[in-house]
Chains A and B, each alone.
Chain A
């Protein structure tokens, strides 16, 4: 069997739309559909989800036939590290405070680029954190603990 379609943009576009649209339709079955006169909470989402599935089927068919391939120049490293460094910020800010959370975010997200240099990153993280403390906490008055329990 020819599996070439697995490399095509349109095939995956269609798959993505079917998963999200289909998921929406399935979940919306728990909400009352109502009628056109009195639309229930399930009406709009079901219609929208079904539309997404329709678009999805269109793209899957296109992708099975021919079409542009997914290009390869993208960074898996960035895709994993950047969202995780945000999650890290979210976990730290309530527990450890503004300064540790921000330092962690800047240093960890810098690791997403292959061109970052360790010493430069450290220095820049300290510099940027200082600026953020001055601008956001002191000048704009955002109510955050700088270091939890201490400052």
Chain B
């Protein structure tokens, strides 16, 4: 069987000593930043991207992916132990997870979170392996109009489904597209928006934008808020959940996984939406919903499975279509491009070791997280006590070194500072940042596909609706817009955002 052979091939790739090492480093760093509030996976991956330049593509992607799902995992550890969600996706876990910890059941809460995450991760991995190849087969038949419509759909969906003001999200996508085309126009050789700086000939560096907006802008924003936090960790005594715990949890884990996989393939929906939906569902189907908020294990199992499944399934559109469904996936796409790999369906056929190796490594990484983290919990809690006043200068230092190491260019450091200011202003005004990054990554590609589509059709824009696949994407785009603008959905969405 093909799937089986492919997975074996993937595991043999992922289990090589080098890749295993990078996987280990990735999940360790990921858990670390997941534990620490104030720095998220986006900022960390952006800062660490330059370090992966000298590393072979497979190992680099494995490490970056490890940071990503490790962060989800670390975020829930602190949510349970100290009621501090390290990542936004773990906010829901705080509700019942921390209650369990206060009742002296921190161990089972952590264990069930780990088991749920691991199960969801396994299902997610299988889904990628199952649906990746057929999706890529379809995508290989795409021409320029199909790609343009697909990207349009992806960007609109990402903007509309993201948390925050919908119109602001769409404006941010456009902003990203505009920033993305700065530099030399490939067709005419004209320098666009370079303001006379020769450093802008090749456009603004991807790392510059990501580090500036997500690391620097975030720090500026954090420093404006109250920083004091008291950390009172609960003791973790026995780890193993009781038989009754397991009985109560398997349903939520299954449902959470389903919800996570569904939201995972939708562009723009962060893991927090998946975990939140799972919590609401569990509360609805529970026999005694009163337990929720007072340490119901279902309230930990479901959301934790959901956010991990979501994180995993986000890789499907990125790896098969070259379409980033979230900010982190935009970074991964950027990392691929930097490694000289053109993202898209051909990755699977031309670089099978990358595709299957990455998938297998995610399963191994999830296993590593379970084995590794339960004994390390004490260390993570200690780390939480590092005050932010020391943490942020360290992030500044790593950011500066990371950006500088790309081109040894002081100009890019200054540009990063500028994007830090812009990122802060955007955040203050309520503009979500991830849609901007998606637009930034897709900007040059979209312009190129639009140009080619127009050349193909002789300047007739109806090409987008006369080709069936492209038409389907356009209809889907319109549907998404119509549904989200409908007053009832809009109201619900705003209530949810609060």
Contact = CB atoms under 8 A, between A and B. Distances in A.
A83 B192 contact: no
Interface string B453-497: 011001101000000000000000000000000000000000000
B414 A87 contact: yes
Q: Chain B, interface size: which category? A: 35 or more
Contact of A44 (B171, B216, B447): B447
Nearest to B228: A115
B417 interface: yes
B396 A109 contact: yes
Contacts of B405: 136, 142
A90 B418 CA distance: 13
Nearest to B398: A132
Nearest to B54: A140
A113 B227 contact: yes
Contact of B192 (A45, A68, A74): A45
B175 A52 contact: yes
B188 A87 contact: no
Nearest to B193: A27
Interface string B271-284: 00000000000000
B139 interface: no
Contact of B220 (A35, A39, A78, A105): A78
B450 A86 contact: no
Interface residues of A, number: 69
Given A85-B396, A86-B400, A110-B389, A73 B429 contact: no
B177 interface: yes
Interface in B37-79: 51, 54
A75 B400 CA distance: 21
A116 B389 contact: yes
Given A36-B461, A113-B227, A116-B389, A86 B431 contact: no
Given A86-B417, A86-B420, A55 B170 contact: yes
Contact of A49 (B178, B185, B216, B429): B178
Interface in A96-143: 102, 105-107, 109-110, 112-113, 115-116, 120-121, 124-125, 128-129, 132, 136, 140, 142-143
Interface in B346-403: 387-390, 392-394, 396-401
Given A75-B224, A79-B424, A102 B178 contact: no
Contacts of B401: 102, 132, 136, 142
A37 B455 contact: yes
Nearest to A40: B188
A94 B410 contact: yes
A55 to B, nearest CB: 4
Interface string B428-462: 11110000000000000001001100110011010
B122 interface: no
B190 A9 contact: no
B414 A17 contact: no
A15 to B, nearest CB: 10
B171 A55 contact: yes
The 9 residue pairs across chains A and B that have the minimum distance between CB atoms? A37-B459, A90-B413, A74-B224, A83-B417, A78-B223, A90-B410, A86-B417, A41-B185, A75-B224
Given A44-B181, A83-B418, 17 more contacts: A13-B430, A37-B458, A39-B450, A44-B450, A55-B167, A55-B174, A56-B171, A59-B167, A75-B223, A79-B424, A86-B399, A86-B400, A86-B413, A89-B404, A90-B414, A140-B51, A142-B405
8 contacts: A32-B190, A48-B177, A75-B220, A79-B421, A82-B216, A107-B393, A112-B223, A115-B389
